[in-house]
Amino acid sequence: MHAKQFKKRSDIPEKYKWDLDDILKGKKISDLINEFQKLSEKSIEEKDSKYESKEKLLKALKREDKIDSLGQRIFNYITNNVNSNMIDPEMNKLYKEVEFIEYKINKEIGPELPRIFKHEKNIKKWIELEEFKNYKRTFVEILETKKHQLPKKIQEFRSIQNRADTSLDEIFDLITNAELNFGYATNSKGKKIKITRANLSSLRENSDFNVRKSAMQNYIKAYLNHKDSLSNILFQHMKKATVWAKLKNHNSVIDYLVFNDRGSEKLLLSLYASVQKNMDVFKSYDKLHKKIYKAKFNKSMTKYDYSVPLVKVKGKYTVEEMQEMVYKSVLPFGKEYSDKVKMAFDERWVDYMSVDNKRSGAYSIAGSKSIDKKYILMNNDGTIRSAETLAHEMGHSMHTYYSDKLHIRDAGYKIFVAEIASIFNELMFFDYMLNNTNDDKLKFKIRKQMAEGFEGTVLRQIQFSNYEYDVYKAIEEGKPVSTYEALSKIYYENSKKYSLRAIKKYKENEQVASITIPHYYYGFYVYKYAIGQLVANIFFAKYKKEGKQALQDYIKNFLSVGNTKRPIETLKDAGINLENPEEYNIGFENARENIIELKKLAKKLFKIK
């Protein structure tokens, strides 16, 4: 079936919808919730006494594993149903009910860490026993945080007060998703087109320059109309982190922000320096892009022309064609990996089609140790980019599949490494497509997509991350940066290090990205996209050099490790040292080689010199 926008979910054929009922395994969701509550009540009852002996503690830990398992099933069943239809009254009501149940349970249990620290001496002795092997890492990591913990009374207050916290990210989402009026794009004949988030990409690709220009100008104008409120919200969000850093005895706000991943400021600065050192990669692509545009359209490219398609390729792929391409691209990983991908397609792990009131974008579920199917949500439009998205999300799902073989305490993986497997799958997909087509236009489109993907996840995300870093530092030093003028000027100064061309002077409307990126609210996250891209390129380069054995090593030493080690240690054991700036060179070299191949295709297709 070709992709299309459906009005009702019931109109979509079953084979293109995910099978969420498999989570329930024949039970009702109410049965799982009741079981979750009963086990939680037992944990509340024994919250203090469980530390009286190693036998009681082990029994309590195993019960907590069951609670966690049930919670994963309940959460995924409800949230994925909500995301399938965001106005479903029954599921939204259930979500709120379960959220309140969890709040009450957490309130009754109260802060756990003071209990652990109180019994630290016995816990350190017990976790060396064989029966505690699955729990040792958990306790070791908790005990390492002791110097960063708040006093017990404050923790108790926080466990209750959390529900009253101002969610600045929710305010940002409300303003940017519900209150912004982007107005209209106007074509060269004066016809107006309503601008929405959903159609912005297509408007930027429109063949009419007037449409492209007015769409982008009015999109930016909508944010600038709210620049003062958005600036203050972002400032307040970042200020909160600087306060927590002090309260929790961290050396700096950056130390606080990278602590959960056991990262370091050294790693960040090394990454920033590496990107700045390799700016030639991005500048060479920008120069080539402009040259191709001029050859095709006989005019210079402006900032409104970057998304204009340069070639026409096959317009649409059916779901079945996309499945086949993704399946064949992963065959080098071996039988277990490729068989599981085929099973994902056959057993309805994926929700493909766009439908009114479905959540936008795409994702692969997390927290799924107790769930057989590692579900994927998409909004398939039938293009090669949607096929790439399927490959990307399947990379996440396969990472989850391998890590979920471990004990529930070690299953899953940190966000720090989450993008590596998905981007590696993209590279395998592109490699398969390039090796199995004689269509130079398709090859050109794929290589251009690879170049843009590398630029978007490495250059742009590091630019954003370095800006965040500078703002956090400024707030920590007490500088007044709560206004758009202040934030946008920090953004402007930072942009000079990552610009593809000389920036001559500050222009207010060109700094709007200083306040518009949702990921600024995700806990200092965006630099991890760059790590995902660069590390995936390193793994891919090893595969191209060493063959299929490199893929088996990747499965064994990375995908299957889960949370048994810290992310940086996992990568070190897989042969990648992130604190060594030279390590990133392989990723940049791959990008250079891709641009060289892109230029060869451009010479054939556009007769450029």
Cα 408 from chain centroid (whole Å): 22
At 357 the pLDDT is: 87
**Positions in the chain whose pLDDT score sits under 50:** none
Question: Is the residue at 494 inside a domain?
Answer: no
* Sequence-ordered list of residues with C-beta below 8 angstroms from that of 506, at least 6 positions apart, any chain: 488, 489, 492
Catalytic residues: 393
Question: Is the residue at 234 inside a domain?
Answer: no
Alpha-carbon distance 423 to 451, whole Å? 13
Q: What is the DSSP letter of 517?
A: -
Backbone φ, ψ for residue 53 (5° rounding): -155, 160
Alpha-carbon distance 403 to 570, whole Å? 13
Confirm if 438 and 416 have CB atoms less than 8 A apart.
Answer: no
**Confidence (pTM):** 0.90
Question: Is the residue at 482 inside a domain?
Answer: no
Token output for 161: 């007060």
Alpha-carbon distance 607 to 609, whole Å? 7
Q: What is the DSSP letter of 353?
A: E
DSSP result, 366-413: -S-TT-SS--EEEEE-SSHHHHHHHHHHHHHHHHHHHHTTS-TTT-S-
Model pLDDT for residues 179-217, shown as the tens digit of each residue: 899 999 999 999 999 998 878 988 999 999 999 999 999
Question: Is the residue at 406 inside a domain?
Answer: yes
Question: Is the residue at 143 inside a domain?
Answer: no
Tokens 């850093």 belong to residue? 245
Question: Is the residue at 99 inside a domain?
Answer: no
The neighbouring-strand residues paired with 184 are 194
For 376, the domain range is: 319-437+528-606
Helical H segments across 412-566, by residue range: 418-435, 440-454, 461-476, 484-495, 513-516, 527-546, 548-554
At 438 the pLDDT is: 95
Question: Is the residue at 445 inside a domain?
Answer: no
Number of domains in the chain: 1
Alpha-carbon distance 201 to 61, whole Å? 49
Q: How far is CA 268 from CA 114, 455, 468, in A?
A: 32, 18, 12
At 597 the pLDDT is: 97
Question: Is the residue at 267 inside a domain?
Answer: no
Q: How far is CA 594 from CA 283, 311, 461, 492, in A?
A: 14, 18, 20, 30
Backbone φ, ψ for residue 248 (5° rounding): -100, 15
Task: Give the three-class secondary structure for 318.
Answer: coil
Q: Which helix (H) or strand (E) holds 457?
A: none
What is the sign, positive or negative, of the torsion defined by CA atoms of 567, 587, 576, 265? negative
